[in-house]
Amino acid sequence: MPVEPLEHTPASDGPRHVALIMDGNGRWAQARGLPRALGHREGVQALKRTVQAAPALGIKCLTVFGFSTENWRRPAEEVSDLMGLVRTYVASDLRKLEREGVRVRILGRRAGLPADIAQIIERTEASTAHNDRFLLQVAFNYGGRADIVDAAQRYADRVRAGEATGPLDEETLGLGLSTAGGPPVDVIVRTSGEQRLSNFLLWEAAYAEFVYQNVLWPDYGAEALADVVEQYRNRDRRFGGLTSAPALAAG
Ligand code: IPE
Ligand code: IPE
Ligand code: MG
């Protein structure tokens, strides 16, 4: 059976959507003899720098991994520090994001979050919903497997309510994911030298490019992001077909 071509722009145009696994806050702090919490605090500064730098690099959407469904396994104090970062980031930057045309979307499960965080999330999404210059997606209490399970459950609920009938296809399941409606992920970046997904964007990663950078997240910024764009531009995205490079295709 013929397969629909995946929607994509050539790699040479640069990535529209960059997804970042912001890793290495703890090691950054440890290397300085500081508590891990300070690494997370510096991580917020790095996030601000990175969001600022993205539009000039032609990027239209950033998705960042802030807290995974597995991060609840960390000591209670660290979990509460990480929750606190949402408060800090939103309190210090929401006005600016609003003003600069950034739409903020939070991916992941709301259930289980402290009530004030859930409220902050809702307020942030509502107050930036009209913005369309740039999309910032923050994966928080997010797990790729949980997101796929939730999408399947949504579909099952719709079938039970008589709003949908089978057979289920990729497009329909995709509509139930928390990333639905956003641009396809072009490249997934992980900092700190680790090379794994850790349950980030499992579905969306299907044909994403991967870039691993040795920089620890608190040191991240414009330069490291520009390096991602450069690496991406030199990739040959095939999507299961043959090379997209015109010279090779002609030969
Ligand atoms: C990434 O830094 C931030 C989160 C996971 C929230 P880590 O806290 O994982 O830092 P390392 O991996 O211990 O250095
Ligand atoms: C992934 O990093 C989660 C975030 C960056 C928020 P982790 O540091 O939690 O992943 P593992 O435990 O090293 O796989
Ligand atoms: Mg880590």
Q: Which ligand is nearest to the CA of 216?
A: 1
How far is ligand 3, taken at its centre, from the CA of residue 23, in Å?
5
Cβ–ligand 1 contact at 200 (below 6 Å): no
* Nearest CA residue ID for atom 12, ligand 1: 24
Would you say the CB of residue 209 lies under 6 angstroms from ligand 1?
no
Whole-number pLDDT of residue 75: 98
Closest to 143 measured CA to CA, from 65, 80, 196, 221: 65
pTM of the model: 0.94
Ligand 2 pocket by Cβ (under 6 Å): 21-23, 65-68, 71, 194, 196, 198
Which ligand is the nearest neighbour of the Cα of 190? 2
Ligand 3 center to residue 80 CA distance, Å?
A: 16
The predicted structure's pLDDT at residue 89: 87
Q: For position 5, what pLDDT does the model report? A: 47
Contact 187, 210 (CB under 8 A): yes
- Residues around the ion ligand 3 (C-beta < 5 A): 23
Quote the pLDDT of residue 244.
Answer: 61
Per-residue pLDDT at 45: 95
Q: How far is the C-alpha of 220 from the C-alpha of 47, rounded, in Å? A: 8
Give the chain's domains with CATH numbers: 24-233 (3.40.1180.10)
Known binding site for substrate: residues? 24-28, 36, 40, 68-70, 72, 74, 190, 196-198
Pocket of ligand 1 contains residue 24 by CB under 6 Å: yes
HEC assignment per residue over the chain: CCCCCCCCCCHHHCCCEEEEECCCHHHHHHHCCCCHHHHHHHHHHHHHHHHHHCHHHCCCEEEEEEEECCHHHCCHHHHHHHHHHHHHHHHHHHHHHHHCCEEEEEECCCCCCCHHHHHHHHHHHHHHCCCCCEEEEEEEEECHHHHHHHHHHHHHHHHHCCCCCCCCCHHHHHCCCCCCCCCCCCEEEECCCCCCCCCCCCCCCCCCEEEECCCCHHHCCHHHHHHHHHHHHCCCCCCCCCCCCHHHHHC
Residue spans of the chain under pLDDT 50 = 1-2, 5, 247-251
Which ligand has the shortest distance to the CA of 36? Answer: 1
Among 30, 50, 68, name the best residue to mutate to test ligand 2's pocket (greatest count of ligand atoms within 8 A of Cβ).
68
Residues 6 or more apart whose CB falls under 8 angstroms from that of 142 comprise 65, 66, 67, 68, 69, 107, 108, 109, 178, 200
Tell me the catalytic residues. Answer: 23, 71
Q: Which of 21, 27, 86, 212 to mutate to test the pocket of ligand 2 (most atoms within 8 A of CB)?
A: 21
Q: Supply the angle between the helices 76-99 and 115-128 in degrees, to the nearest 10.
A: 20
